[in-house]
Amino acid sequence: MNDEGSTELTFEDQRLMHQVAGQQDEHLRSLERLLGVRIGSSAGTIQIHGDEVQRELAGRVVRQLYGLLEKGYPVYPSDVDYAVRILSSDRGANLRDIFLDTIYISAHKRVITPKSLNQKVYIDAIRSHDIVFGIGPAGTGKTFLAMAMAVAELTKNNYARIILTRPAVEAGEKLGFLPGDLAEKVNPYLRPLYDALHDMVDFDRARKMIERGTIEVAPLAFMRGRTLNDSFVILDEAQNTTREQMKMFLTRLGYASKAVVTGDVTQIDLPAGKSSGLKHAAAILAGIRGIRFIGFNEKDVVRHRLVQEIITAYERAGAAAAESRAEEKNGGAGLWNGLREGHRAESSGPEGEDRS
């Protein structure tokens, strides 16, 4: 440390230091924007200026990113953002424990690893539990990481097949009125699962695995009456299951199988009067040994950085609306109680004597 308001970090390997800084110092510029500090670099050193708390956090991020590079992990601009989120939430976190936990290397040679504390907990839960629920907003990696785990386990021959399913919520259109046979009608609802699969496995290989039955993609209704042995099963969009459908799915699990259930309880598309099977399951199954529930929030979003802010804005608006409804309800109850009390007072004489 130098004078008050600045920190200087020294690195032995200038090549790695330049990788920490990023092309045209884009990683350092991201840190400046995210933490409100000023950062400069020169031969073998990085200087950080600003508030003491944010300066210390920026230094921790830089040092830990340098440590990842020493281990051969390629640091991308998005990793800077994830690192700031992780170390802001937990100053004692070690990025190596999270980013170096390689789940799978995709067909595009992309290394798939957790990018947040909750994602790391989620992956560890899938490894150690037979049924795992991942509940949280869109973009938090719930389905993507489950898919990566499933393909990795299949590659290791730990399971004989992967089954991917989701409920075919009709989204305002009756399936019977849509053109085509049943497969063509339900295919649009399953497209996101195919997209996630093709992120992991090249198209031709995925097609052959589907043809052989090694990977099955089907609507939830097709699970009824089956026993799923030696399978890694993923139920996506589970917030749109009914209680009966959720019970049906969970009781399909057979010998040597694992199930991962993902959903976002703020995005329920069920008809009015139908309660979500995911919410019901969370209420009654949380205490059962072998079942684990993992919650995600906006800090786990791994899509465009604006998605995190959009989710936060909607949550804030939802909380404000709920508070407003509660106030209106309480206000109405207060008015009614006041009217009743007034009526009682008019019906009684002095000293509470009844006038009737």
For CA atoms 80, 85, 91, 94, the dihedral sign is: negative
- pLDDT the model gives residue 349: 46
Mean pLDDT of 237-254: 95
Nearest to 141 by CA among 277, 39, 9, 264: 264
Contacts of 275 (CB under 8 A, 6+ apart): 242, 243
Task: Check: CB of residue 171 under 8 Å from CB of residue 268.
Answer: no
- pLDDT the model gives residue 129: 97
For CA atoms 344, 345, 351, 353, the dihedral sign is: negative
Query: Is the pLDDT score of 334 beyond 70?
Result: no
Alpha carbons 237 and 138: distance in angstroms, whole number: 10
pLDDT digits 0-9 by tens, 288-332:
999 999 999 888 888 776 777 787 788 788 778 777 777 766 665
- pLDDT the model gives residue 11: 93
pTM for the structure as a whole: 0.80
Mean pLDDT of 211-222: 89
Task: Check: CB of residue 165 under 8 Å from CB of residue 186.
Answer: no
Q: What percent of the chain has pLDDT over 70?
A: 83
Q: What is the band of 3 on the pLDDT scale with cuts at 50, 70, 90?
A: very low
Query: Is the pLDDT score of 279 beyond 90?
Result: yes
Contacts of 171 (CB under 8 A, 6+ apart): 269
